[in-house]
Structure 1
Amino acid sequence: MDDKKKVVENLNSLFSRYSGKEKLENEIEKLQSHLLEMEIDKNRLEKNETNTKKAIAAKQEAEQKLNEADVRIETLTYELEELRNKGTNENSFTLIEEITPSSFEPYIERLASITSGNDPFITAYMTYEQVQANVIQGKLTKYLDQDTLQLLKKINSNTGYALFYDNMKMVCEVIVPPIPITESLVEIAGSFNVGPLTKLLDREMTVCVLAAHAGESLIGITSDKTVFDEDMVIRSSVKAKHTKGGFSQRRFERLRDEDIAHHADKVRSALKDLLASSVVDIDMMFLCGDIVLADHIVDEMNIEIPLMERNIDARIEKHDTDNILRSIFSCRRYRL
């Protein structure tokens, strides 16, 4: 159908050549013109029920993509304004990356191999409570410059962090571990003290994981932090988000909320059974994915196990659920 092809071609053109609001609005105007032509030809199309359904589906798809484009424009405009207001003179990290469990050992070995004869290296371990209270200012102010102190304030960690700092700034590293640091330390020596961090990450423990998503959640138990000893994926039918607005959206969202509540009940029931059947004590439970949903699931369970929230990319992959463990037990590295 020629009119349908016009819509599809314009949609493809719109999203492949999108480079700004003005251009996008021009493409939207062209698209709306074609949609109007489709309305004019509606009587002719009604003679063929199959084509009519296809035309309506194409129109709905076009409207949805237009709505998404409008939202994207608004988001980009806001982000651009934020960047302008923020300015360009603010200090920032030169590197932020994840250190996976498999790459941590060579990283820590290289760090430990750096030595000096005149004690210029600073090692500091800060607990979550100390980070929140900004204890770093009192302990290390005389050793660190103001730019470094300001960068340390930006690190958001619920497990504390380890700082490895050379006053010649050849090494300026912060490691945020996945497991909470429980003992603080400040040491100035001719090498970095990596022992407490290595001991922390080598700690033997059994953990339970809840990766919550609306309609598809994973629960599992692991004793070696690399593969699940036992895991399961709980799936439910949950409606996709509604984008049209009006009364229909409110009703649709209410039904979606009911679907999510039903899914939460299924996951909660399965999690209770998993914990009850475990023959070993669980040392810690990690919550990831949709943290709000995960919190809702465990809130009504009165779990006495320590809970840790991990803001990670907890995608549930059919043939590789252990990828979530790799993300959970990765360290975050900041280069100052």
Structure 2
Amino acid sequence: MLDRLLGRASLRERIDELEAENERLQNRYEAESERRADAATARQDAEERVNRLEDRIAQLEGELERVDTDESGLTVRRRDQLRGPRLEGVLDRLTSIRTGPEGALTAGVDDAVPESVRADLEDVLGDRVALAEEAAPCLCCVDDAGLLAVTLEPPITPDIGATWRDRFALEREWFLPTGRHAVALVRTDLFALGVYEDDERVDYRGFESDVKGSHSKGGFSQARFERIRDGQIDEHLERCRDALAAYESGGERADTPLFLVGQRGTVDALVDESGLEPTATAAVDATGDPKPALADAVHSFWTTELRVL
């Protein structure tokens, strides 16, 4: 009775209505947030599936190429991954071979093979020149009698064209860690740089950055998540540029080869944005903490694939 007389009853009813409306809007907001989070997760799942399918397509295309090669009778007789003492032994054998004047051809084979290089290879290999092109970029070593024909995919592939000599034109520093050099590993969340004397590491610096991983259900949208992650990656790459600049400004880089390896897109972005001129770059798969990841990257980088044609 008193509430009605004082007008409290209508106010309480209005409060109840507003609380009910507020609860309804809150439920709607939570449902919408859940829907967007589900959509973002579904998008990530779809992207991962697309990546897996693209990998599978690439694998099947490779298998199809091998089938086509098999049907044409062109097959690689042997394929091997070489590093360390085993690689040294193979290089020793190849460099010990002697022929008559201009009897040993060493040719750099790139994706676009110059006609002059292709003509020299075809003179000796015939149709098997296609096997050398499949290995590109590589070095092809073949003698004029056709007794030996191999391709090598070294970490550093020089631009030597087609070179005819009485021995194969191979330099050990294209294949093996020689003298003082540096290897820098770059991922979107990690940097590690080692300075080496031959294959022994004599200096090291590295760090990790806090970069968000895959987006999952949460209180912010996929777009905001991606903006945050892109910003974190930019900050990480800035740290990488500063670390490399400090290495170079310290006088250590003078005449010292620098090999930049890691995730291909990250390596390319770092080179483009920093003005670096590394001796060579390579895509390698190196996971884990900085030091063991660097060790894996160095192992992968200094590996040469041998194909016996």
Q: Which ranges in structure 2 are unaligned for 5 or more consecutive residues? A: 1-37
TM-score (norm 1): 0.62
Which position in structure 1 is the counterpart of 2:295?
322
Instruction: Give yes or no for the alignment of 1:88 onto 2:67.
Output: yes
Aligned mate of 2:250, from 274, 277, 297: 277
Give the Cα separation in 2 of the matches to 1:163 and 1:182: 14
Give the Cα separation in 1 of the matches to 2:141 and 2:272: 34
Aligned mate of 2:116, from 129, 132, 135: 135
One-letter amino acid matched to 1:178:
P
One-letter amino acid matched to 2:132:
L
Tell me: higher relative CO, structure 1 or 2? Use CA pairs within 8 A at least 6 residues apart: 2
Which position in structure 2 is the counterpart of 1:99?
82
**Identical aligned residues as a percent:** 18
- CA deviations 1:244-283 (Å, max 9, x no partner) are 8xx9222212211111111111111111112211346143
Q: Are residues 141 and 212 of structure 1, via their aligned partners in 2, closer, same or farther at CA, if it must alter by over 3 Å?
A: same
Shift of 1:149: 0.9
Q: Check conservation: 1:163, 1:174, Cα contact below 8 A.
A: yes
Which position in structure 1 is the counterpart of 2:141?
163
Q: Are residues 270 and 206 of structure 1, via their aligned partners in 2, closer, same or farther at CA, if it must alter by over 3 Å?
A: same
Give the Cα separation in 2 of the matches to 1:259 and 1:176: 35
TM-score (norm 2): 0.67
Instruction: Give yes or no for the alignment of 1:178 onto 2:155.
Output: yes
Q: CA RMSD in A?
A: 4.1
Give the Cα separation in 2 of the matches to 1:202 and 1:73: 34
1:99-118 aligned within 5 A: 99-111=82-94
Which position in structure 2 is the counterpart of 1:221?
195
Q: Are residues 234 and 95 of structure 1, via their aligned partners in 2, closer, same or farther at CA, if it must alter by over 3 Å?
A: farther
Q: Which ranges in structure 1 are unaligned for 5 or more consecutive residues? A: 1-58
One-letter amino acid matched to 1:173:
V
- CA deviations 1:61-120 (Å, max 9, x no partner) are x9899768855774577457646865823245344433113322222234456679xx6x
Q: Are residues 139 and 229 of structure 1, via their aligned partners in 2, closer, same or farther at CA, if it must alter by over 3 Å?
A: same
Shift of 1:150: 1.0
One-letter amino acid matched to 1:269:
D
Q: Check conservation: 1:208, 1:220, Cα contact below 8 A.
A: yes
Q: Are residues 300 and 168 of structure 1, via their aligned partners in 2, closer, same or farther at CA, if it must alter by over 3 Å?
A: closer
Q: Are residues 261 and 96 of structure 1, via their aligned partners in 2, closer, same or farther at CA, if it must alter by over 3 Å?
A: farther
Which position in structure 1 is the counterpart of 2:132?
152
Aligned mate of 2:226, from 253, 256, 281: 253
